Amino acid sequence: MNISVVIPLYNEAESLPKLYEWIERVMNENKFSFEVIFVDDGSTDDSWAVIEGLQTKSPDNIRGIKFRHNYGKSPALHCGFQEAIGDVVITMDADLQDSPDEIPELYSMIVNDNYDLVSGWKRKRYDSKLTKNLPSKLYNATARMVTGIRLHDMNCGLKAYRNEVVKNIEVFGDTHRYIPYLAKNAGFTRIGEKVVKHRKREFGESKFGMNRFVNGYLDLITLWFLSKFGKKPMHFFGLWGSLMFILGFIAVVAVGVNKLLALYKHIPERLVTDNPYFYLSLVAMILGTLLFLTGFLGELITRNAPERNDYNIEKKI
C-alpha cells in the first residue's frame, strides 16, 4: 500500500465527510493505493457515527479507532501509527485546515527525495496573531535551539513519514509537538520541510488553549533530558551532585580554617555556628549527596529496565 493517512480527531463530525471526499479524490487522481485511519479521541458528538457511515461506503479504504474518553492527540497518533501499513504515513488534522492536495508532493519527498520525515510549514496563517502566531514563533525558535532541527513549524499537524519511522518512535504524553525530535533521537536524521497552505477552520472551534505553550516547553525539557541522560542519569545527577558536594566541603573547610586562624592570632571571631556560610556549605553538601544518590538510583533503575539494550538497528549482513 502506498499511503496511510492517520487523522486524530475530537468532535469534528461536521468536517469528516468533506475531508474524506477530498482525500479520496486526491488519491484517485494520483492512482495511490491508500487507507485512512480515523482515531476518535473520545468525541462527545456524532464523530464516530460519521466514521462508521463512511466506512460502510468505503470499507477497503477506511479504518477507525475509538477511545473510551479523551486521552489527547499523542495517544491518538501512537495508536494510529501502530495500525498504519502504508509505505508512507501522512498525518493531518481533521478540521480542514490542512489541505489533502499537499499529499502527492509530501509522498514524493519521502519516496523520491529520500527523506525520513517531512514537516509542513504554514508560512501564511489565518490564526489570531496575538494568541497563536506570536507565541508559535517564540515556541518554534526555542525548539530549534534545543533540538538542533531547523524547522519553522515543528508542531504542524501535516507531516509525512517513512513507515519505519513511525514504527520506531513512541509518541507519549503531549510529545506529538516534537515528533521530528523523537525521530532524530531514533536515528532518522533526514528531516525536511515543505511550505503548505493553511486554511481557515470551516466548522467548530479550536480544541487547544494557551496552556499548550506552557506544556510544550515542559515537554521539550523532558525530551531533551531523556535524550541526553535517559540511559545514563549518573552523568547528570552525579556530576552536579559531586560539584555541589565539593564546593560545599571547600566552603566548610574555609570557614573552619578562618576560625582556627582567628583563635591562633587571638582575634575575636564569631562562632562557626553563627556564620551563615557554614549552613550554606552544609546545605550544598547535603544537596550534592542527594543528587549523587538520585543518579545512583537512576542507574540501578535503567540497568534493570527491560528496554535498556533496545537499539535501532538499520541493517545487518
- pLDDT tier, 312 (very low <50, low <70, confident <90, very high otherwise): low
Of 223, 111, 104, 114, residue with least CA distance to 169: 223
Beta bridge partners of 3: 34, 88
More confident call, 43 vs 261:
43
* pLDDT tens digit sequence for 131-172: 566 677 787 888 888 888 989 888 899 999 999 999 999 898
Query: Lowest-pLDDT range, 36-50, 56-70, 71-85, 166-180?
Result: 166-180
Amino acid symbol at 36: V
Cell of 68: 473510551
Of 34, 39, 157, 27, residue with least CA distance to 91: 157
Q: What angle do CA 43, 106, 62 make, to 5 degrees?
A: 40
**pLDDT value for 208:** 55
Q: Kindly report the pTM of this predicted structure.
A: 0.76
Q: How far is CA 79 from CA 37, 72, 99, 169, 187, in A?
A: 10, 11, 23, 12, 21
**Secondary structure (3-state) at 199:** coil
* pLDDT tens digit sequence for 173-194: 888 989 999 999 889 999 999 9
Q: Across the chain, what does the average pLDDT equal?
A: 86
In this structure, are strands 3-9 and 88-91 parallel, antiparallel, or unpaired? parallel
* pLDDT tens digit sequence for 93-135: 999 989 999 999 999 999 999 999 999 998 876 655 555 666 7
In this structure, are strands 34-40 and 3-9 parallel, antiparallel, or unpaired? parallel
More confident call, 65 vs 154:
65
Taking the CA atoms of 211, 217, 221 and 224 in sequence, report the sign of the dihedral they define: positive
**pLDDT value for 310:** 62
Give start and end residues of each alpha helix (H) in 197-270. Answer: 211-229, 234-264
Within 8 A by CB and 6+ apart from 120, the residues are 98, 102, 106, 153, 156, 157, 158, 159, 193, 194, 195, 196
Beta bridge partners of 141: none
- pLDDT tier, 212 (very low <50, low <70, confident <90, very high otherwise): low
